[in-house]
Structure 1
Amino acid sequence: MGQEVVSEKKFPQKEANRITHILDTALPEHIRFPVDVEMVAKELTPSFSQDPITAVNGGSMGNSVDGMLVKHDSKDEWAIFYNTDVVHPGRTNFTKAHELGHYMVHRQSLSKTKFQCGEKDMLDENQQGIDIEAEANAFAANLLMPNNDFRAQAEGQKFSIDLMKHCADRYGVSLTAAVLKWLDFTKKRAIGLLSEEGFMHWSKSSNSAFRSGRYFATKQDCVEVPEFSLAAQEQYSIEARNGVRHGPGIWFPGEEVIEHSIYSEEYGKTLTILVLDDAGGYSDPDDFNEDDELLTDSYTNFINNGQNPY
């Protein structure tokens, strides 16, 4: 008496790792990154199932939809569609990987024939109480920025905006996505946040920072950035990028903080990373608990805070 395969719970990180292992084996280093999501979808999914992805197409979808995964009306085939109105390659790349995540993780367990994803959809849970948009984001993050390779880029490196820019360019993702991944890895007490006109949109603490009580409750409260911080000044300067050490009382009472900050005129927002003093290091990327995976993944927290990881 065996169990139905269709009912088996699939974990985003494990599904992403399946593909990562294939790509690591098949591709030489110089063409390994960024991941060609279209190639993965069209060339590898036939080996995973009898209902492969056969098309990845772009088109104008307006402002409400970022991408879709759709099953063919009469064939056992799927297609990914992405919004060409989005002009940032990192966001488009992540959207394609997100839809591939729905294919790998959700198409069988939910028995759906269409997944349509926009900002509103990414904040909603389905009727089964599973946050499938957060799961698809977790898949995308692990596919585009595999743990072993990300660790190789960051291990032994002092945090800097330039290091995060290197990672963003290597993986074809946004600077924010790279910072969120770094916060998942680092053992340093660190906090990432996005602010606009003096107030935080969201913040994300590393595990060690959160455990030491260093976090901002942006979901519950309207949190103002400190008056004398770089974030409040909306700076785009070499000094702000490289980091400025503040004395106690600027960000936290009784504790110094190194603040790295970069202001985007295009969006009118400031991305800030705070690094607090401690021993540092990096966590083991392969040491994760399947049951707790989505509780600790930064992309889950990011979506729950009402933001897309672009």
Structure 2
Amino acid sequence: MRKATNAHIQAKRLLENCGLDEITDLDMDLFIAGLDAMLIEEELSNCDGKIIFGNSKAVIKVNSKIQFPERKRFVAAHEIGHLIMHKNMQLPDDTFANFNIIEGMENALKNGKQELEANEFASELLMPESLFYKEAKGKKFSPLLIKQLSERFKTSLTATIFRYIQFEQLHPLCLVFIENGKVRYWKKSDSLIVWMGDYNRLSPPSDSVAVEYLQNNYDFIYKLEEKAQTINKSTWFNLNQYEEDTPFYEYCIPTRRYKTILSIIWED
């Protein structure tokens, strides 16, 4: 894994101070109550989560309209990150986009640094480094592995993928985040030696799996064993004049509510 950040250190310290190795089987409302704060689920019109700092207690709100409990857990953990690290800062309400920024992309959002830190904190809190690596090491990368890891830590597929790519010792990946039909940003493992095509703010390539999901209105069009579709290296990456166009794989996680697709691309 890359060098530990302050957010990772703070999350590890919180677990240690609570005498816990992980919080996978704890209800988030009880854990937050132990931090002298309160968790409330209610319908929020323009955001997925927010934190309100009071004189003596903080209130963490999570949008009750969020469909999946795993996502609610990550939103709550993200707000705990704000509680621990950003008490004296002016913070905006947390929208879906805030939960998807990754290192190097934080400048795309107002308060991006704080949002990145809160995401890193949540990731470490819900998927502790040593436990996650133990579960993932030595296993062939596949959509099934990500599903198994997400079930083990009660996290969303998206959060699990973002956690996986933080470990350079694991299988190298490239992640491409697509919003409203346009590539918003991408990130790859350092050990994946490829040159990304110029797709920022453009539609994904016509022969990509992502385009299939766009054409099918973000429906899950492949069963689990079919989610890893074969593509050409040249679909997403530039080739030099001497380079062979070898097979790669692409696996997509669509979210119709937010009109997003996360494409995961790798070589076997």
Task: Tell me which interval the TM-score lies in, with the shorter structure as reference length.
Answer: 0.7 to 0.9
Q: CA offset at residue 136 of structure 1?
A: 1.0
TM-score by length of 2: 0.75
1:12 has 2:7 as partner: yes
| Separation in 2, partners of 1:243, 1:90 | 26
| Separation in 1, partners of 2:182, 2:91 | 33
Alignment of 1:1-310 (within 5 A): 11-21=6-16, 25-26=19-20, 33-34=24-25, 36-43=27-34, 45=35, 52-53=36-37, 55-62=38-45, 64-73=46-55, 76-107=56-87, 111-112=88-89, 115-119=91-95, 122=98, 123-125=109-111, 131-187=113-169, 188-195=171-178, 199-209=182-192, 212-215=193-196, 221-234=200-213, 235-238=221-224, 240-244=226-230, 246-247=231-232, 249-252=234-237, 253=239, 254-262=244-252, 264=254, 266-267=256-257, 269-276=260-267
User: Over aligned residues, Cα RMSD in angstroms?
Assistant: 3.1
Q: Which amino acid aligns with 1:21?
A: E
Q: CA offset at residue 161 of structure 1?
A: 0.6
Q: Which stretches in structure 1 are left out of the alignment for 5+ residues?
A: 1-9, 46-51, 278-310
Q: CA offset at residue 65 of structure 1?
A: 2.1
Aligned CA distance change for structure 1 residues 16 and 215 (closer, same or farther; 3 Å): farther
Aligned CA distance change for structure 1 residues 217 and 72 (closer, same or farther; 3 Å): same
Q: CA offset at residue 88 of structure 1?
A: 2.4
Q: Which stretches in structure 2 are left out of the alignment for 5+ residues?
A: 99-108, 214-220
Asked if the contact 2:196–2:236 (Cα under 8 Å) also holds between the matched residues in 1, the reply is no
Number of residue pairs aligned between Structure 1 and Structure 2: 240
| Separation in 2, partners of 1:59, 1:197 | 27
| Separation in 1, partners of 2:118, 2:72 | 14
User: Quick check: which one's helix share is greater?
Assistant: 1
Q: Which amino acid aligns with 2:201?
A: C
Q: CA offset at residue 174 of structure 1?
A: 1.6
Q: Which amino acid aligns with 2:209?
A: L
Q: CA offset at residue 87 of structure 1?
A: 2.2
Asked if the contact 1:16–1:143 (Cα under 8 Å) also holds between the matched residues in 2, the reply is yes
Q: Indicate the SS of the match to 1:41.
A: helix
Asked if the contact 1:191–1:206 (Cα under 8 Å) also holds between the matched residues in 2, the reply is yes
Larger gyration radius, structure 1 or structure 2:
1
